[in-house]
Every structure is written in C-alpha cells, then in structure tokens.
Amino acid sequence: MSLIVQKYGGSSVADAAGIKRVARRVVKTQRAGNEVVVVVSAMGDTTDELLDLASEVAGRPPARELDMLMTAGERISMALLAMAIHDQGGVAQSFTGSQAGMITDGIHGKARIIDVDPHRVRTALDKGNVAIVAGFQGMSRQTHEITTMGRGGSDTTAVALAAALDADVCEIYTDVDGVYTADPRVVSSARKIDRISSEEMLEMAASGAKILHLRCVEYARRFGLPIHVRSSFSDHEGTWVLPSPDDKIKISEGVALEQPIISGVAHDRSEGKVTVVGVPDIPGKAAEIFGIIAGAHSNIDMIVQNISTRGTGRTDISFTLPMVEGAEALDALRAAQDSVGFDSLIYDDEIGKLSLIGAGMRSNPGVSYRFFKALSDAGVNIDLISTSEIRISVVTRADLLDTAVRAVHQAFDLDGQDEVTVYGGTGR
Ligand code: ADP
Ligand code: ASP
Ligand code: MG
C-alpha cells in the first residue's frame, strides 16, 4: 500500500462541479489500494476576493485578522470536499492546519513551518479515511495564533505533510499539465518539461513562476522528496521535480541525458523597486538600510548600488521587494531618514522582472550575449540586472514584460510543437 499526498489548487476546486471531480479522483486513488492525504486550496479566486473585502473595510487590516479571514477560504473547500467524498461512498475527515499539526512561527502572512505533528491525520488514515487538510495555514505554539504561510503556500503544506508522513509521492494538481518552459498564459507555445532538477525549479519559483511555491521546492529538496506536478483536468503525465540531478539520470534508465542548457524563462509582476537617493558613501550605511528593511520583515530581491557621484560622497541604492511589502518598508525607511542621512526615497511599482534559468549556463559561454541581444532586438530597455550561477534576471518596464518573455523564449529555441492547454483558473 502506498501513501499518496495530493494537493489540489484553487482552480481545481473552483465550484461544486470541480469539487465533485476532485472527489472522484481521490476516491479512485484510494480504491486502487492507496492511503490518500489531500491538501486543498481555497475555491477559485476566494483568497483574492477575501483580501479585496478586507481592503474595502480597512486601509491597513491587522495581520492577525487577515490570517483569520484567509484561513476561512481553505476550510470551506476542505469541508465541501469531505462531503462530496462521502456522497460518492467514500469516507473522509477534514482538518484545519492546526488540527493537522502544522506548527509555525508566529509571523502572520508568511509563517514558516517549525514542526509537523500529523498524528490526527495518521489516525484518520488508520481508520480507512481519506484525510483532507486545509492548505497554507498553521498555528504558532508561542503565540497560540492561527497563521498563514504566504500566497501559494498550500504546495508547502502538501510537501511538509508528505515528508512527515513518509509518503511515497507528493502530487501537486493544478490547471496546466506540468511545469513549462515559460508561463503558458504568456507564451502559448511553451514546452512541457518532463523532469527538472530541484535546483532549477528553485530558481524558477524564486523568479516568479508561481506554478510551485518556492518553499515547497526547498522543503522537498531538503527531504529528498520528488514532486509530481500535473493537471487535475487530465490524466497526462506531468513534470517530475527531482531532488538531485542524479535522479534525473536514474529515471531515464541508461539514456545518456545531456542536460539542456536552458530550462526556462520566468517572470514576476509582483515586485516594486525602492531607490534610496543620496546615501552617504561611508562604511555601514548599506547595513543600516538593510537592517531597517529586515526589521520590517521584508524579503529583498535584487540590490544595486551605483558608483558614488564624483565629489558628492553620496550614492543611490536600489532594491526590489514584493509590492505588498512596499508600504511597510517605505514607512520604516522614512522613520530612519535622519539617522541614515539619505536625501529621499523613490518607489516604482510599474516594473517587471524576467529571468532566464538553466544549469547548463555554467558551462556554456555566450548565453548572456544571446539573452541581451534578444531583449535589444525586442526594444526592451533594462533597468536592473542580477545573476546567479544558473540564472540571469533583469528588471524592465511592466508593460514590456510579456514582449520580453516571448522574445527571450524564442531566442533560446524553447518553443514546443503545440499550443498549451490551460484548463481553468483566471491566472489571478
Ligand atoms: P493553483 O491554484 O493550482 O495553485 P497557480 O495559479 O498557483 O495554481 O499555479 C498555476 C499557474 O502557474 C498556471 O496556470 C500558470 O499560469 C502559472 N505558471 C507560471 N509559470 C509557469 C510555468 N513555468 N509552467 C507552468 N505554469 C506556470
Ligand atoms: N489560497 C491561498 C492562495 O491563494 C494558498 C494557496 O492556494 O496555495 O494563495
Ligand atoms: Mg499555487
């Protein structure tokens, strides 16, 4: 008997028909002789709608209450799915994150898992139930508060449960057939990737490919757990995210697999850019600035410091961060303007980030040239640049991002044969 963890995203449980369809799939998996744990997201765009409602009643809703509100979305889907499974002759029990033993720290909106104690889930399975767990939520033992793990965090709930229960496989069901060489909603000719190393998937997720939550990939890598990303609307084989590149070779059984140079192109529209203008060019100022940002719990992405303007002894520092964290970070910086001694702050949220990812970049010269040439031919101006060993990222104007993604995708011959099917979801 295998233990399978299946996670169904919002588009898979968007309405009653979707929930019944998922229930059929779950019951079928169980009847085939498996133990099944299901993690569910909120129905359709419920989480966004709840956030919209919150901002209608309050300018800056308290983080604790936002978490109370958002966790309700997943509780609706878990109970409805349990009912649908019962209706189809199965037995299921649903659990909130805290009931399922998801213990997190106390940071609302981006809590980290610190322990998983799924004994109630285990007991439910032992009694022959399907166990259904509400995604992206947990509880802090310190504060005794309910927390959420950040947008898209249900993927991480699934992987954490799979690791804690020693599952045989973790399946992430979504609205496309797997991980593609680019977001199929932007590049309709993108190609499905059959197997990808977690190293490359980490860079894709960190660069905005929201098909998988970044922390779910980190978690799976740490526990050596393969993830199968696939569609709940078809029976097609999806994409295997493999914890080590060696597995890639193993799975292909003797076929000498040369890694492709480039795995894909990712984009991100969710960041804003802060420029701190006129920072005194003396030791310690960058540390002061990023200390303030860390205090506001912001996750910085790209950082650029310009050479100081001759004779002024001052420089500008720009960095990107999630747009939702922009207001808090700016408030914190403004409060420290006199002590840091900078001149002013500029905030720009009309930016987009594009990244090219591939493990083969390490050993193939000329990738950067081809990348920048593609952007230049498409008339895209570049604002910031950053690189890792296996990634090049640039910031551009938001309205040119789609053009830039398509140009780079084509320049690296990533296009597939057919148009990708997007089965559901609104892409919100
Ligand atoms: P779910 O609700 O199932 O969690 P998400 O909306 O979070 O689904 O993630 C699935 C979406 O991710 C797809 O519909 C697609 O638009 C987007 N996406 C972004 N990059 C990629 C990629 N490289 N491959 C596949 N999908 C991608
Ligand atoms: N419902 C949450 C969100 O929309 C969590 C998730 O779907 O993973 O972000
Ligand atoms: Mg998701």
CA of 185, nearest ligand number = 1
Same domain as 269, residue 408: yes
The larger pLDDT score, comparing residue 425 to residue 254, is at: 425
- Residue 267 CA to ligand 2 center (angstroms) comes to 19
Kindly indicate the confidence band of residue 247, based on its pLDDT and cuts at 50, 70 and 90.
low
Kindly indicate the confidence band of residue 261, based on its pLDDT and cuts at 50, 70 and 90.
confident
Same domain as 152, residue 283: no
CB 180 less than 6 A from any atom of ligand 1: yes
Residue among 39, 183, 202, 239 whose CB has most ligand 1 atoms within 8 A, to mutate? 183
Task: Please check whether residue 201 lies inside any domain of the structure.
Answer: no
Task: Please check whether residue 280 lies inside any domain of the structure.
Answer: yes
**Averaged pLDDT of the chain:** 93
Same domain as 162, residue 48: yes
**pLDDT of 343 over the 80 cut:** yes
Kindly indicate the confidence band of residue 427, based on its pLDDT and cuts at 50, 70 and 90.
confident
Alpha carbon nearest to ligand 2 atom 8, residue: 152
Domain boundary among 174, 189, 210: 174
**pLDDT of 138 over the 50 cut:** yes
CA of 41, nearest ligand number = 2
CB 269 less than 6 A from any atom of ligand 1: no
Task: Please check whether residue 244 lies inside any domain of the structure.
Answer: no
Same domain as 306, residue 160: no
Model pLDDT, residue 117: 98
Alpha carbon nearest to ligand 1 atom 27, residue: 183
Ligand 1 atom nearest 178 alpha carbon: 25
Residue among 70, 113, 210 whose CB has most ligand 2 atoms within 8 A, to mutate? 70
Task: Please check whether residue 235 lies inside any domain of the structure.
Answer: no
**pLDDT of 308 over the 80 cut:** no
Same domain as 290, residue 141: no
Task: Please check whether residue 103 lies inside any domain of the structure.
Answer: yes
Domain boundary among 111, 142, 174: 174
- Residue 358 CA to ligand 1 center (angstroms) comes to 19
pLDDT digits 0-9 by tens, 1-42 = 899 999 999 999 999 999 999 999 999 999 999 999 999 999
- CATH code where residue 38 lies: 3.40.1160.10
Alpha carbon nearest to ligand 1 atom 25, residue: 179
Alpha carbon nearest to ligand 1 atom 1, residue: 9
CB 173 less than 6 A from any atom of ligand 2: no
CB 183 less than 6 A from any atom of ligand 1: yes
- Residue 2 CA to ligand 2 center (angstroms) comes to 27
Same domain as 308, residue 163: no
- CATH code where residue 401 lies: 3.30.2130.10
Task: Please check whether residue 56 lies inside any domain of the structure.
Answer: yes
Same domain as 276, residue 160: no
Residue among 12, 39, 136 whose CB has most ligand 2 atoms within 8 A, to mutate? 136
- Look up residue 138 and give its amino acid: G
Question: In terms of residue numbers, what domain contains 63?
Answer: 3-174
Same domain as 398, residue 264: yes
Task: Please check whether residue 265 lies inside any domain of the structure.
Answer: yes
d(CA 94, CA 78): 6
Domain boundary among 121, 140, 174: 174
Number of folded domains in the chain?
A: 2
Same domain as 159, residue 33: yes
**pLDDT of 418 over the 50 cut:** yes
Task: Please check whether residue 16 lies inside any domain of the structure.
Answer: yes
Kindly indicate the confidence band of residue 260, based on its pLDDT and cuts at 50, 70 and 90.
confident
Same domain as 311, residue 413: yes
Please give the annotated binding residues for substrate, written as ranges.
Answer: 47, 74
